[in-house]
Copies of this chain bind each other. A is one copy, B any other.
Amino acid sequence: MTVTDLQESECDVLIVGAGPAGLMMATWMARCGINARIVDKRSTKIFSGQADGLQSRSLEIFDSFGFADRARKEANHMLEASQNPDEEGKLRRSDRVPDAIVGLSRFTQIVLHQGRIERFFLDNIKKHSKDSLHVERAVLPESLSIDEDACDNHSKDNYPLKVQLRHLTEEEATPAQSNGPTVQDGLFRSNLADDDTDDLIAQSRANAGSTEIVRAKYMVGCDGAHSWTRRQIGFQLEGEPTDYIWGVLDIIPITDFPDIRMRCAVHSASSGSLMVIPRENKLVRLYIQLTEIKPDASGRADRSKITPDTIIKAAQKILAPYKLTYEYCDWWTAYQIGQRVGKNFDYRSRVFLAGDAVHTHSPKAGQGMNVSMQDAFNLGWKLALVVQGIAQSSILKTYQSERRRIAQDLIAFDHKFSRLFSGRPAKDVLDESGVSMAEFKDAFVKGNMFASGLSVDYGASMLVAKPGDSAAQGDGTDVSSSSTQIPGKQELAANIKLGMRFPSFQVLNQSDARPWPFQERLKSDGRFRLIVFAGNVLSPTQSARLTSFCDALTSSAFLKPHVHTHIGLLTLHSVKRTETELLRDFPEVLHPFDPKTGWDYDSVFVDDESYHQGHGEAYKNYGVDKETGCVVVTRPDQYVGFVGEVDGEGIQGVEEYFKGVFLS
Chain A residues within CB distance 8 Å of chain B = 69, 73, 76-80, 96, 98-100, 102-103, 108, 252-256, 258, 260-262, 278, 282, 327-328, 509, 511-515, 578, 581-583, 595-598, 601, 610-612
> In the bound complex, how far is the Cα of B76 from the Cα of A511, in angstroms?
12
> In the bound complex, how far is the Cα of B254 from the Cα of A328, in angstroms?
60
Q: A512-B261, A581-B258 are in contact. Are A611 and B327 (CB under 8 A)?
A: no
> In the bound complex, how far is the Cα of B593 from the Cα of A255, in angstroms?
10
> In the bound complex, how far is the Cα of B261 from the Cα of A374, in angstroms?
37
- The 9 A-B residue pairs with the shortest CB-CB distance in the complex, in nearest-first order: A254-B598, A261-B512, A98-B611, A261-B511, A79-B513, A80-B513, A327-B596, A77-B514, A252-B597
Q: Which of B79, B512, B515, B610 contacts A512 (CB 8 A)?
A: B79
- Cβ of A337 to closest chain B Cβ, rounded Å: 28
Chain B, residue nearest A66 (CB): B73
Residues of B within 8 A of A79 (CB): 512-515, 610-612
Judge whether A255 and B612 touch: CB under 8 Å: no
- Cβ of A353 to closest chain B Cβ, rounded Å: 36
Given A260-B511, A261-B511, output 17 extra A-B contacts at Cβ < 8 Å: A76-B512, A78-B512, A79-B514, A79-B611, A98-B611, A102-B611, A108-B611, A108-B612, A252-B596, A253-B598, A254-B597, A254-B598, A261-B512, A262-B512, A262-B513, A278-B512, A327-B596
Name 16 A/B residue pairs within 8 A (Cβ), A-sorted: A69-B69, A76-B512, A77-B514, A80-B513, A98-B611, A100-B611, A102-B612, A252-B596, A255-B598, A256-B583, A261-B509, A261-B511, A261-B512, A278-B512, A282-B601, A327-B595
Judge whether B261 and A601 touch: CB under 8 Å: yes
> In the bound complex, how far is the Cα of B514 from the Cα of A254, in angstroms?
21
Judge whether A73 and B80 touch: CB under 8 Å: no
Judge whether B258 and A583 touch: CB under 8 Å: yes
Judge whether A73 and B77 touch: CB under 8 Å: no
Residues of B within 8 A of A261 (CB): 509, 511-512, 601
For the complex formed by this chain, how many copies does it contain in all? 2
> In the bound complex, how far is the Cα of B596 from the Cα of A252, in angstroms?
8
Q: Which of B80, B100, B260, B597 contacts A328 (CB 8 A)?
A: B597
- Cβ of A285 to closest chain B Cβ, rounded Å: 14
- Cβ of A186 to closest chain B Cβ, rounded Å: 23
Chain B, residue nearest A515 (CB): B79
> In the bound complex, how far is the Cα of B79 from the Cα of A255, in angstroms?
48
Judge whether B512 and A80 touch: CB under 8 Å: yes
Chain B, residue nearest A584 (CB): B258
> In the bound complex, how far is the Cα of B260 from the Cα of A583, in angstroms?
12
> In the bound complex, how far is the Cα of B331 from the Cα of A23, in angstroms?
39
Residues of B within 8 A of A262 (CB): 511-513
> In the bound complex, how far is the Cα of B82 from the Cα of A611, in angstroms?
14
- Cβ of A645 to closest chain B Cβ, rounded Å: 30
> In the bound complex, how far is the Cα of B612 from the Cα of A103, in angstroms?
7
Q: Which of A513, A515, A582, A595 has the most CB of B within 10 A?
A: A513
> In the bound complex, how far is the Cα of B186 from the Cα of A223, in angstroms?
54
> In the bound complex, how far is the Cα of B253 from the Cα of A596, in angstroms?
9
- Cβ of A579 to closest chain B Cβ, rounded Å: 12
Residues of B within 8 A of A77 (CB): 512, 514
Residues of B within 8 A of A80 (CB): 512-513, 611
Residues of B within 8 A of A103 (CB): 612
Residues of B within 8 A of A509 (CB): 261
Residues of B within 8 A of A100 (CB): 611-612
> In the bound complex, how far is the Cα of B278 from the Cα of A177, in angstroms?
56
Judge whether B328 and A596 touch: CB under 8 Å: yes
- Cβ of A54 to closest chain B Cβ, rounded Å: 15
> In the bound complex, how far is the Cα of B456 from the Cα of A100, in angstroms?
40
Residues of B within 8 A of A254 (CB): 595-598
Q: Which of B98, B108, B282, B612 contacts A597 (CB 8 A)?
A: B282
Chain B, residue nearest A598 (CB): B254
Residues of B within 8 A of A583 (CB): 256, 258
- Cβ of A434 to closest chain B Cβ, rounded Å: 28
Residues of B within 8 A of A102 (CB): 611-612
Q: Which of A252, A262, A601, A611 has the most CB of B within 10 A?
A: A611
- Cβ of A552 to closest chain B Cβ, rounded Å: 26
> In the bound complex, how far is the Cα of B252 from the Cα of A659, in angstroms?
37
> In the bound complex, how far is the Cα of B598 from the Cα of A252, in angstroms?
8
- Cβ of A328 to closest chain B Cβ, rounded Å: 7
- Cβ of A259 to closest chain B Cβ, rounded Å: 9
Residues of B within 8 A of A108 (CB): 611-612
> In the bound complex, how far is the Cα of B602 from the Cα of A260, in angstroms?
13
- Cβ of A65 to closest chain B Cβ, rounded Å: 13
Residues of B within 8 A of A511 (CB): 260-262
- Cβ of A513 to closest chain B Cβ, rounded Å: 4
Q: A108-B612, A597-B252, A597-B282 are in contact. Are A73 and B69 (CB under 8 A)?
A: yes
- Cβ of A458 to closest chain B Cβ, rounded Å: 27
Residues of B within 8 A of A578 (CB): 96
Residues of B within 8 A of A598 (CB): 252-255, 282
- Cβ of A315 to closest chain B Cβ, rounded Å: 15
> In the bound complex, how far is the Cα of B610 from the Cα of A99, in angstroms?
12
Residues of B within 8 A of A252 (CB): 596-598
Chain B, residue nearest A511 (CB): B261
- Cβ of A278 to closest chain B Cβ, rounded Å: 6
Q: Which of A102, A258, A509, A597 has the most CB of B within 10 A?
A: A597
Residues of B within 8 A of A258 (CB): 581-583
Judge whether B597 and A327 touch: CB under 8 Å: yes
